[in-house]
Amino acid sequence: MEGGKQGCAEPLDVKTVAVIGAGPSGLVTLKYLLDAGLKATCFEQGSDLGGTFVNKAYDDATLVSSKFLTPFSDLRLPEECAAHQTLPECCAYLQEYAATFNLLQHIEFNTQVTDVSRATSSGRYRVTTAPVTAAGRSSSCVSCNAWNDSAGASTGPCACDTHAGAVASSDNGSNRVSGSSRGGGSESGGSTVHHFDAVAVCSGLHNVPRVLRIAGLESFTGTIMHSSEYKERSIFAGKRVLVVGTGETGLDLAYRAVLSASSVTLLTRSGFLSVPAIFGDKHSGLPLDTLITNLFESAYEHHWIHAARLKWAVTAVLIRVGFLLATGSSKGFNQWAGHVTPVRRGYHIINKSTAAMPYINRPYKRQSVLGCLLYSWWDTPAKAAVASNMHIDLRRGSIARIQGSQYDVIILATGYRQHFPFLHGNMMDGGVDGHGVGEPDPLPPASEGHHIVSAQEPTLAFIGFIRPNVGAIPPMSELQVMWWLERLRGRVVRPKCAPSYHVLARKLPYGVDYGAYMHQVARDIGAAPSLTTLLCKGGPKALIAYALGQAYISFFRISGPFASPHALTAARSELWGPVVQRGFLANAAFTALLIPFGVLNGAAWVLDQVFVQRKAASAVTIAAAAAAAAAFRRLRC
C-alpha cells in the first residue's frame, strides 16, 4: 500500500489479507479491505455468518445498543425499526450487509483456521485451514471437553469459537500456531495452506467460557450449564434455579427463570450498575446510548480537563440525584439491591438488562414506606409472577461448592475468557486450563495502537475485542479497521498524549468509554470532524446532532480519508432524530451543561498556549545563551 505522512510509520506492502471470523467485525473488516483494493478472504468455521448473534442466541433476546448506534455507516436501519433489534433482525441485517456489498463470494464457510505461521524469510503469514463437518464440534476442543468432563454440563453446541492454537517454534524458522483446533467443528479431510501479507483476527469476544471450579459436582444430579449453552426457558419450569453472575446475560436468564421456576437465586460477586437500555416504549422511548453528548466531553475537551474527569464527576452527581428522585435509589436506576461501588461515571460497564429488576426489588421495597407508596409503580411484573408472588433472591458471594440437592438447575453466567493461544510463544505463558479461568490473553498495548496492533507486528490486527461502557462493538470495529488501513498506508499520526479512554474500575481489562475511544482513534487518522466542517458541510442540523449527540460512526465519515456523502445524509436526518425526540427541556439541560464546560476548556486552552509559548521562549533563550558561550570560547582560542 502506498502513502505516508511526516512523523508516521512507513507504509507497508500489503496486498492480501486473511480475515478470521464472519461476525459483524469480520464482515465490516472484509468490506473495507475489499474497498481498499486488497485481496481479502474471510474464513468462517460456521455454516452461516453472524458470529455470536447466531451461535449464542437464546429465546426473545434483543440487543442493548440502539438502532442509531449499532449499524454500520454504509447501511443504516430504516426509521420504522424498533429502537433495539432482536437477534433474528440483527442477523437479517448482517445478511443484507453482506449481500449489498457482495461479501459472500469472499467468505469460505465451514472452514476452520487451524494454523497461522509467520515465515522469517518472507514475513508473510501461512494460514492453514481445514473443513468442518456437519457435526458442529471439534473433538480436540480442549476447553469445551474439559468443561463437559469436569463440570458435568449437558451436551450442547461448542461454546469455544477460537480459531487457532498455541504458538510453538517450528523447525523451519517460523513462529507457528499449532496444537488445538477449536470451534464448532471437527477436522475431516485434508487441510489447505494459504499465504497472506496480513491477518485480521475477528473471532469475537465470546469464545472460551469462563467456568468456575466447583466442588461437589460429582454428587450433583441436576442440570448445570454455562450461559452460552442456554437456548430457551422451558428448562426452568417448576425447578429451583441458581444463576451465577449478574452481567446482562445473567439478568436476562434470571428474568426468564422467574416466570416459571419454583424459586430463583441470583448470585453476584461484586454487584452491578443497572440502567435501562431505553426509557419508555421500545418504539418511541429514548435509548440510553443516545443520551450522551460529544461536545466538551469526547470532542473539544482539553487534556487537562479530561485528565481531571471534571464532566464525569459533575454529571455523575446530577444523574444520581435524578435516579434518587425518580426511583428511590441513587445507586442505579430503580436498583434497590446489588449495588456496585463506586457509583460514578466512567467506572463501570453499565448493565442495561433490567427486566429482572422488579423481582429483585420486591422484598426491599416492601420494607420501605416510600418503596411501597411512591416507587412501586416502576415494578410491573408479568401477571403469572404477580399471582405466585415470585421474586429473585439476590445474594452476594461466590459459589465454591454444591451441597446435596439444593438446586435443580445451575446457570453459570460467568462470561468468557479472552484467549489468543497463537500469541503464547511471543508474549506470555498461558493456555486454557480446562475451566476457562485465569488471566485473559492480552491485546496489543493501547499506547502502540489502541489495542488493534502492536508496533512490532502491525500486519496482525485484532478487530472487535474492545468492550464499551455505553456503546456498541460493530461501529467500534468499523473505526478500528479504518485506523488499521491508514496504519498500513503509513498515515496514522501519533497522538501527543497517551490514550485515556479506559474505564476507571478495571473490572474488564479492555473496557473503555465509548465516546472517548472513538474520538481518540478517529483523531489519529484525521476522521474526527471539526465544528466548522460539520456546519459548512452538513448545516445546523448536523452540527447540533454531533454536539448534543453520541459518537455515531457516521460522524467519523463526514471528513477524513473515508469521507462519504451517506454520512452527511445520516447526520442531517437520522441522527438529528434523537435530539428532536428528547424534547426541549432535555436539550436545554444538555446545553446548559455545555456552557460552563466550554468556558473551562477555553480557559485551559489559553493557559496551555501561554505555557507553551513561555516554554518555547525559554528554550530559545537557552539556545541563544549556549550559542553565545560557544562563540566566546572560540574567540578566546
Q: Look at residue 633 and tell me if it is in a domain.
A: yes
Q: Look at residue 380 and tell me if it is in a domain.
A: yes
CB 590 within 8 A of CB 293: yes
CB 2 within 8 A of CB 486: no
Say if residue 423's pLDDT is above 80: no
Domain residues for 150?
16-207+419-496
pLDDT-derived band of residue 174, with 50, 70 and 90 as boundaries? very low
> Of residues 5 and 324, which shows the higher confidence score?
324
Q: Look at residue 250 and tell me if it is in a domain.
A: yes
> How far is the CA of 532 from the CAs of 303, 515, 590, 604, in angstroms?
21, 20, 21, 21
- Which residue, 445, 463, 496, sits at the end of a domain? 496
Pairwise CA distance, residues 480 & 85, whole Å: 23
Say if residue 155's pLDDT is above 80: no
Say what the pTM is. 0.86
Same domain, 318 and 335: yes
> Of residues 46 and 117, which shows the higher confidence score?
46
Query: In sequence order, which residues have a C-beta less than 8 Å from that of residue 524 and are 6 or more positions away?
Result: 450, 483, 486, 492, 493, 494, 495
If you average pLDDT over every residue of the chain, what do you get?
Answer: 83
The residues pairing with 116 across neighbouring beta strands, listed in sequence order, are: 127
- CB environment 365-400: b (16+ within 10 A), e (fewer): beeeeebeeebbebbebeeebeeeebbbebeeeebe
Mean pLDDT is highest, among 128-137, 294-303, 475-484, for 475-484
Least confident of 4-8, 175-179, 207-211: 175-179
Same domain, 261 and 360: yes
Same domain, 146 and 180: yes
Q: Look at residue 501 and tell me if it is in a domain.
A: no
Pairwise CA distance, residues 366 & 377, whole Å: 13
Cis-peptide into 342, omega within 30 deg: yes
Same domain, 326 and 232: yes
Query: In sequence order, which residues have a C-beta less than 8 Å from that of residue 632 and are 6 or more positions away?
Result: none
- Which residue, 471, 496, 521, sits at the end of a domain? 496
> How far is the CA of 575 from the CAs of 52, 76, 152, 527, 546, in angstroms?
27, 11, 49, 18, 8
Q: Look at residue 255 and tell me if it is in a domain.
A: yes
CATH of the domain at 481: 3.50.50.60
Same domain, 64 and 120: yes
**What SS3 string covers 274-331?**
ECCCEECCCCCCEEHHHCCCCECCCECCCHHHHHHCHHHHHHHHHHHHHHHHHHCCCC
Same domain, 168 and 245: no
First to last CA, the chain: 55
- CB environment 48-71: b (16+ within 10 A), e (fewer): ebbbbbbbbbbeebbbbbbbbbbb
Say if residue 201's pLDDT is above 90: yes
Pairwise CA distance, residues 335 & 318, whole Å: 17
Same domain, 371 and 435: no
Pairwise CA distance, residues 593 & 81, whole Å: 31
pLDDT-derived band of residue 390, with 50, 70 and 90 as boundaries? confident
- pLDDT tens per residue across span 249-265: 999 999 999 989 999 99
Instruction: Provide φ and ψ at 457, rounded to 5°.
Output: -140, 75
pLDDT at 428: 33
Q: What is the DSSP string of 409-473?
A: EEEE---EE---GGGHHHH------SSS-SPPPPPPPHHHHTTT--SS-TTEEE-S--EESSS-H
Same domain, 180 and 236: no
Pairwise CA distance, residues 351 & 289, whole Å: 12
Same domain, 120 and 180: yes
Pairwise CA distance, residues 375 & 535, whole Å: 44
Q: Look at residue 525 and tell me if it is in a domain.
A: no
Q: Look at residue 254 and tell me if it is in a domain.
A: yes
Same domain, 340 and 474: no
Same domain, 196 and 280: no
Pairwise CA distance, residues 441 & 427, whole Å: 9
Q: Look at residue 532 and tell me if it is in a domain.
A: no
Q: How many domains does the chain have?
A: 3
Cα–Cα–Cα angle for 88, 89, 91, rounded to 5 degrees: 65
CB 624 within 8 A of CB 630: no
- Which residue, 365, 392, 412, sits at the end of a domain? 412
Least confident of 267-271, 438-442, 501-505: 438-442
Same domain, 447 and 327: no
pLDDT at 332: 95
